Amino acid sequence: MRIAILGSGGVGGYFGGRLAAAGTDVTFIARGAHLDALRTRGLRIQSPLGDVHLPAVRATDDPSTIGPVDVVFFTVKLYDTDSATALLPPLIGSDTVVVPFQNGVQSVEVLTRAVGAQHTAGGTAIVAAVVAEPGVIRHTANDRLTFGELNGTRSRRLEDLYDACRAAGFQAKLSEHIEIDIWSKFVWLSVFSGVTTVARLPIGAVCDDADLMAMCQAAGLETMTVAHAKGIKLPAKVFDDMISRFQGLPPHAKSSMLEDLERGRPLELPWLSGAVVRIGEEVGVLAPTHRFITTVLTPYVHGKQSA
């Protein structure tokens, strides 16, 4: 199996590195100092589940040097989604599948327009990982990928991907209801990202504060209500599990959006709390908690220059 990682940051770097360490043919598509480090020093993963050092990895900024692959991990930040789709054509063969392991709930729609439904699957990543420095991924919690065909069938190409993931030693699920999985993640992620970032606190401090936990519950109910209004049949367990999921994280864990805010980077806000508000307006659902989060964080959405 040949895999291209389009977006080799925390998510792509971590899972791509684990796959490469297990012997899968992986090529990283990156840019700037991170690309230079991958080419000259390889890839390092610092993780409580075991460190990895790959002294030599295949890395490029030009997909045309790779050619068609079996699977593309589409793991760019959400604000880079539209520009990154222009890099996909050289990677697409007759049975290539592009799987978006991004935050938010709109990636499948964008990729379907870009490469066609036959080359698009759905996916989610549950992981806390960031680029600590060029060529180094710092992983702190969770390591699970979920993916599935849009029509709910079990395809050979995704079964092969599942086997590769299991061989790499991280958790994987081949889903027959990927839309529900994507929205299930979005419920807790929209809350985790929004509340930790607006409070500038890791999840442990949020869990220790009764008022912030009440804010989490209010925001979670809003996202659940928006999903139901769109016809996404999320079970009540999704909301019930949200708080226990937060409490099960390491107390120092931060959302990637908080990490980005602290580093002066652009935020994925418009596709997280902003998306809850926007989609809510489309289906007639108010989302005041997410609107507050969006309003307070919007001055920082473009990074340092807008703060």
Q: How far is Cα 240 from Cα 220, in angstroms, rounded to an integer? A: 10
pLDDT score at 128 = 87
- What's the sign of the alpha-carbon dihedral 169, 120, 105, 195? positive
Strand pairing report for 121-133 and 136-149:
antiparallel
User: In the 8-state DSSP scheme, what is residue 251?
Assistant: T
Which residues are within 8 A (CB) of 177 and not within 5 positions of it... i.e. 6 or more apart?
148, 152
Where in the chain is CATH 3.40.50.720?
2-176
Q: How far is Cα 102 from Cα 110, in angstroms, rounded to an integer? A: 12
Q: How far is Cα 131 from Cα 33, in angstroms, rounded to an integer? A: 11
Structurally, at CATH architecture level, domain 180-306 sits in: Orthogonal Bundle (1.10)
**221 half-sphere exposure, CB direction, 13 A CA radius:** 9
Where in the chain is CATH 1.10.1040.10?
180-306
Please answer whether residues 183 and 234 qualify as being in contact, where contact means their C-beta atoms are separated by less than 8 angstroms: yes
Q: What is the pTM of this model?
A: 0.90
CATH number of 2-176: 3.40.50.720
Q: Which residue is associated with the tokens 């993916």? A: 147
Q: How far is Cα 217 from Cα 222, in angstroms, rounded to an integer? A: 9
Two tokens, residue 231: 């016809």
CB atoms within 10 A of CB 124: 27
pLDDT score at 307 = 41
Which residues are within 8 A (CB) of 234 and not within 5 positions of it... i.e. 6 or more apart?
180, 183, 184, 187, 224, 227, 228
pLDDT score at 306 = 44
- Which positions of the chain have pLDDT values less than 50? 306-307
Two tokens, residue 214: 């009440």
